[in-house]
């Protein structure tokens, strides 16, 4: 795509909102970074943007996506190009995607494969590394991956028995090894054995419809695995992060850990805050649209998640963006356990969170920025390059109209998926203009940057301080 790229941009008259502040000022961007922030700046620029009446947020960071993921006999339908572009439309400028090891292969092989896949990204990206087979060979790879390859978070699955699931011994050994170099283990916490048993029982009883997915992934299975993962981290004196937490039972495990002064980093996803398990009662095969793991929960869990965000117990809101079109979902028409798990979410995360969170009075504006951008940057070693509006930070900026109303629909979204899980939802607040590293990426409803514009974000080995804190705490025990 041929575009004249301005090298300087002046954003005038907007209200800058960060995780801590809200104030009116102009922002002068030179090259890829923010050069000056001040009142009534008198500078000339290649491009001037009038942001009066708009908020300016740091670019959103989605800490949990799966682009082109090979999964359950198919691939998620967005690749790095279509998925990161859709993210930009919704104000997400950086994603952290999961490069998941194929059992039997090296970690370095999957990193190379993901660099190849991601070379067409439109938005910026980093990787978590999914470890599905931890052995003496993979152990040797860890040090260089953290210290030289810019990947410092390692994901384990406590579910998907017979596919991605690892055992507790592997988790502990991975924690110990990654902890040595300032890495962190992050986990999908559901008890794979409980789920496996329930799925078999239901199928044997002829219960094949999508709604049984929810019933076979009970709250208890998530709470048990969350508590176990937290205990393993405590035992190995390691920092930890739990992805896509959905329920009160799991949150209670996190609260319990704070009583022994353990820090647990927690992510939830936008769908768990806004949608609930009534959707599994939709007729026919429609419920398959919301088949992901963990599943949607009850209104009491949604309340617990919002409260935990306010209390600082939940730190990030991601998406677990992993779209499958309806033709792909239909692979499980006769067996709910074969429905590819995942849904399209990346484009709507920021606007739905703003509308349901800030506009409805559940969270403050600063909290919105914290959980949609800044905390992910801090936890995953990207701050203050990302997640901040500050001199020297990347000029990843979202100019946002807090009053514009619109209705979410698959007809107008940019994700490569033929349905939208929020179809028909009216939201207040719209991403108008997005800058990615100083270049106007989205303007007037159009993407102005193309395939390959996105850059890999090399993350720091970031948990040395956290680790010291955990060690101090352990020596006090």
Task: For residue 146, give Cα distances in angstroms to 386, 398, 455.
Answer: 19, 30, 18
Give the torsion sign (CA, 433, 268, 240, 95).
negative
Q: What is the rounded distance in angstroms from the CA atom of residue 159 to the CA atom of residue 55?
A: 40
Which conformational region is residue 312 in: left (phi greater than 0), alpha (psi within -120 to 50 degrees), or beta? Answer: left
Q: What is the rounded distance in angstroms from the CA atom of residue 118 to the CA atom of residue 127?
A: 10
Between 57 and 134, CB nearer to Zn ion: 134
Q: What is the rounded distance in angstroms from the CA atom of residue 310 to the CA atom of residue 180?
A: 33
Choose one: 22-30, 35-43, 181-189, 393-401; the region binding Zn ion (CB under 5 A): 181-189
- Phi then psi for residue 218, to 5 deg, are -70, 160
124, 248, 301, 320: which one binds ligand URP (CB under 6 A): 320
Between 266 and 388, CB nearer to Zn ion: 266
Q: Who contacts 368 (Cβ-Cβ below 8 Å, separation ≥6)? A: 17, 57, 353, 354, 357, 358
Please state the closest distance from residue 170 (CB atom) to Zn ion, in A: 17
Q: What is the rounded distance in angstroms from the CA atom of residue 283 to the CA atom of residue 296?
A: 17
Q: Is 83 in the site for ligand URP (CB under 6 A)?
A: no
Q: Is 128 in the site for Zn ion (CB under 5 A)?
A: no
Between 142 and 242, CB nearer to Zn ion: 242
Q: Is 341 in the site for ligand URP (CB under 6 A)?
A: yes
Please state the closest distance from residue 251 (CB atom) to Zn ion, in A: 17
Q: Which does 341 bind (CB under 5 to 8 A by kind): ligand URP, Zn ion, none?
A: ligand URP
Q: Is 293 in the site for ligand URP (CB under 6 A)?
A: yes
Residues 304-333 contacting Zn ion, CB under 5 A:
320
How many residues at the interface with ligand URP, by CB under 6 A? 8
CB–CB of 164/132 below 8 Å?
yes
Between 34 and 96, CB nearer to Zn ion: 96
Indicate the helix (H) or strand (E) that contains 92.
Answer: strand 92-100
CB–CB of 396/124 below 8 Å?
yes
59, 87, 182, 342: which one binds ligand URP (CB under 6 A): 342
Between 332 and 438, CB nearer to ligand URP: 332
Q: Which does 462 bind (CB under 5 to 8 A by kind): ligand URP, Zn ion, none?
A: none
Q: Is 214 in the site for ligand URP (CB under 6 A)?
A: no
Between 213 and 237, CB nearer to Zn ion: 213
Between 244 and 430, CB nearer to Zn ion: 244
- Provide the CA 115 distance to its chain's centre, in angstroms: 19
Q: Is 188 in the site for ligand URP (CB under 6 A)?
A: yes
Q: Is 292 in the site for ligand URP (CB under 6 A)?
A: yes
Please state the closest distance from residue 164 (CB atom) to ligand URP, in A: 8
Give the torsion sign (CA, 357, 359, 365, 368).
positive
- Is residue 232 reached through a cis peptide bond, with omega within 30 degrees of 0 on the bond before it? no
Between 321 and 385, CB nearer to ligand URP: 321
Indicate the helix (H) or strand (E) that contains 173.
Answer: helix 168-180
Residues within the interface to Zn ion (CB under 5 A): 188, 320
Residues within the interface to ligand URP (CB under 6 A): 66, 188, 292-293, 320, 322, 341-342
């Amino acid at each position: 795509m041929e575009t004249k790229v301005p090298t300087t941009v002046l954003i005038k008259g907007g209200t800058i909102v960060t995780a801590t502040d809200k104030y009116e000022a102009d922002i002068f961007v030179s090259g890829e970074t923010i050069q000056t922030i001040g009142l009534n700046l008198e500078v000339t620029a290649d491009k001037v943007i009038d942001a009066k009446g708009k908020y300016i947020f740091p670019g959103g960071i989605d800490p949990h996506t799966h682009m082109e993921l090979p999964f359950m006999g198919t691939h998620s339908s967005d690749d790095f190009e279509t998925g990161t572009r859709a993210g930009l439309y919704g104000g997400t400028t950086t994603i952290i995607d999961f490069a998941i090891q194929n059992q039997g292969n090296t970690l370095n092989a999957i990193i190379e494969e993901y660099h190849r896949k991601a070379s067409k990204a439109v938005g910026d990206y980093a990787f978590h590394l999914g470890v599905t087979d931890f052995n003496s060979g993979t152990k040797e790879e860890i040090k260089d991956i953290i210290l030289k390859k810019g990947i410092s978070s390692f994901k384990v699955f406590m579910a998907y028995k017979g596919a991605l699931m690892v055992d507790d011994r592997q988790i502990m050994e991975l924690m110990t090894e990654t902890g040595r170099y300032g890495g962190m283990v992050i986990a999908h916490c559901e008890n794979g054995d409980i789920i496996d048993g329930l799925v078999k029982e239901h199928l044997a009883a002829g219960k094949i419809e999508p709604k049984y997915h929810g019933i076979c992934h009970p709250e208890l299975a998530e709470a048990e695995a969350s508590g176990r993962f937290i205990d393993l981290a405590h035992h190995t004196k390691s920092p930890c992060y739990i992805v896509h937490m959905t329920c009160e039972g799991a949150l209670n495990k996190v609260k319990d850990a704070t009583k022994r002064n353990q820090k647990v980093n927690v992510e939830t996803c936008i769908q768990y805050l806004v949608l609930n398990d009534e959707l599994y009662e939709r007729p026919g095969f429609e419920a398959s649209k919301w088949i992901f793991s963990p599943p949607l929960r009850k209104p009491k869990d949604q309340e617990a998640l919002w409260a935990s965000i306010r209390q600082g117990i939940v730190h990030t809101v991601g998406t677990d963006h992993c779209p499958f079109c309806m033709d792909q979902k239909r692979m499980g028409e006769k067996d709910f356990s074969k429905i590819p798990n995942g849904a399209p979410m990346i484009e709507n995360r920021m606007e739905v969170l703003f509308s349901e969170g800030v506009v409805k009075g559940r969270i403050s504006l600063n909290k919105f920025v914290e959980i949609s951008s800044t905390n992910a940057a801090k936890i995953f070693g990207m701050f203050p390059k990302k997640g901040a509006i500050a001199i020297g930070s990347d000029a990843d900026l979202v100019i946002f109209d807090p009053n514009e109303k619109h209705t979410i629909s698959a007809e107008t979204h940019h994700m490569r998926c033929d349905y939208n899980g929020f179809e028909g939802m009216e939201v207040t607040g719209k991403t108008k203009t997005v800058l990615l590293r100083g270049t106007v990426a989205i303007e007037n409803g159009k993407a102005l940057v193309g395939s390959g514009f996105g850059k890999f974000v090399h993350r720091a080995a970031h948990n040395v301080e956290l680790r010291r804190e955990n060690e101090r705490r352990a020596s006090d025990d």
